[in-house]
């Protein structure tokens, strides 16, 4: 059965979003609010969460906020129960929490690696474990897993982040297999490339250098629009951004080469980047600022066009190189 076509059309009006206090989570909350959805928003920072809720209420949405840490399984179970009590049902659950620790693996404290895994992988498993029984009881529901480009290729200088995202990909595939007998329960994965959110500013930084991401960076609202689109047409996998499409093609052909190129690129960047203090970021505590949707990393339009052309040329060269490697392998058999 093609699960991208729901056999029973149920409008998605009751939405739960974890990691809703900034970035993609906030953008998605505001996008659903514009559609008149009833929202349950969760994150660690209650003050920032309430600021997002007020924006959604001004757009006409009914909103419940639940401050919690999704690494706490019991708190997530209570979130699911509160959401069902508030909404009557849950149509879509967006599992969006994501943290990161940037630095060479051996330079990052093991507790920072562990915290990344607990938030990005175990936390999402807590979300699913809490909501899937509700979906099964009501016989419909959409679980949206925020993964990332990091779920498709190795992430040097962010090893635990990549491990968590690879784990999420496997977790989603397992859930989809188990949900086969439930045609109106969908497990959807979203794989954006680099997104311009406060997440990079909030990350644990063990490099001693200022963090940034390569262009082109996605507008968080574009990612939010894709998630809202899943409410109308659920799909197993949603890649976003040219780098994600390139990596999906390139990784099966030359996974080690791709990771080494990434390692060289990050190494060159850190060699010349400005110094910055080592920081645990938001790994163990909520960020000190209220976040907002945008991270402020995107370049002005003229610089962005030049960067896109430069990246495009690099992608084309990479595709050509990988094509040659693939052809060489084929002829060498």
- In order of 67, 68, 118, 279, 308, the CA distances from 44 in angstroms are 5, 5, 14, 19, 35
Structure tokens at 249: 């093609």
Structure tokens at 84: 């069902």
Active site residue 161: yes
Q: Which residues pair with 93 in a beta bridge?
A: 16, 143
Structure tokens at 301: 């339009």
Sign of the alpha-carbon torsion through 182, 185, 187, 188: positive
- Give 119's DSSP letter: I
With contact defined as beta carbons under 8 Å apart, do 79 and 123 qualify?
A: no
Estimate to the nearest angstrom the gap between the alpha carbon of 118 and the chain centroid: 15
3-class SS of residue 273: coil
Give the residue from 207, 204, 203, 187 showing the smallest Cα distance to 195: 203
How many Cβ atoms sit within 10 Å of the Cβ of residue 218?
21
Active-site hit among 161, 191, 206, 269: 161
For residue 27, report the phi and psi dihedrals to the nearest 5 degrees: -60, -40
- Give 12's DSSP letter: -
How many Cβ atoms sit within 10 Å of the Cβ of residue 91?
20
For residue 123, report the phi and psi dihedrals to the nearest 5 degrees: -60, -40
3-class SS of residue 133: helix
Which residues are the active-site residues?
Answer: 161
């Amino acid at each position: 059965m093609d699960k991208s076509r729901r056999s029973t059309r149920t409008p998605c009006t009751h939405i739960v979003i974890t990691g809703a206090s900034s970035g993609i989570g906030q953008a998605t909350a505001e996008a659903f609010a514009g559609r008149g959805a009833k929202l349950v928003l969760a994150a660690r920072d209650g003050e920032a969460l309430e600021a997002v809720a007020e924006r959604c209420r001004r757009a006409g949405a009914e909103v419940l906020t639940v401050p919690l840490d999704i690494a706490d399984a019991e708190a997530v179970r209570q979130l699911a129960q509160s959401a069902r009590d508030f909404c009557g049902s849950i149509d879509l659950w967006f599992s969006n929490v994501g943290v990161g620790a940037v630095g060479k693996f051996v330079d990052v404290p093991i507790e920072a690696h562990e915290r990344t895994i607990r938030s990005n992988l175990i936390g999402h498993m807590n979300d699913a474990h809490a909501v899937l029984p509700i979906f099964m009881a009501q016989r419909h529901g959409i679980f949206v897993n925020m993964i990332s480009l990091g779920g498709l290729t190795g992430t040097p200088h962010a090893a635990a982040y990549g491990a968590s995202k690879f784990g999420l990909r496997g977790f989603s595939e397992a859930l989809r297999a188990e949900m086969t007998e439930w045609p109106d329960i969908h497990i959807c994965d979203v794989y954006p490339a680099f997104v311009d959110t406060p997440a990079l500013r909030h990350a644990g930084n063990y490099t001693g250098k200022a963090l940034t991401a390569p262009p082109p960076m996605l507008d968080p609202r574009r990612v939010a629009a894709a998630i809202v689109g899943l409410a109308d047409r659920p799909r197993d996998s949603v890649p976003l951004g040219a780098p994600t499409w390139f990596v999906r093609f390139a990784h099966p052909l030359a996974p080690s080469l791709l990771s080494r190129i990434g390692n060289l690129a990050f190494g060159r960047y850190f060699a010349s980047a400005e110094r910055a203090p080592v920081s645990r970021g938001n790994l163990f505590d909520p960020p000190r600022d209220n976040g907002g949707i945008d991270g402020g990393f995107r370049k002005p339009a003229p610089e962005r066009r030049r960067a896109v052309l430069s990246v495009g040329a690099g992608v084309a060269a990479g595709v050509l190189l990988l094509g040659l490697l693939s052809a060489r392998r084929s002829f060498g058999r």
